[in-house]
Amino acid sequence: MKVQILGMGCPKCKQLAANAEAAIEGGGVDAEIEKIDKLPEIMQFGVMVTPALAIDGEVKAAGKVLSAAEIRGILEGE
């Protein structure tokens, strides 16, 4: 499973990445994190507001920082 963090490196983007790492480690999920920080690549996802979280190329949330618990819930639902 690939967890993708979409954002240009702002503090909220960094927080979302940290929360995703915590969710993966805390939930024992077999996943890798990919940070996508180039605007053309972000726009290919149809995301207009960052930060955004995508799982295997499917956007799950945009424009907010999900907590580690929220991300874990998304990952377990996959």
Q: Is 56 a catalytic residue?
A: no
Q: Is 34 a catalytic residue?
A: no
* Annotated catalytic residue within 5, 13, 17, 47: 13
Residues forming a β-bridge with 35? 5
Tokens representing 47 are 């995301």
* Annotated catalytic residue within 1, 8, 10, 18: 10
Q: Which residues are catalytic?
A: 10, 13
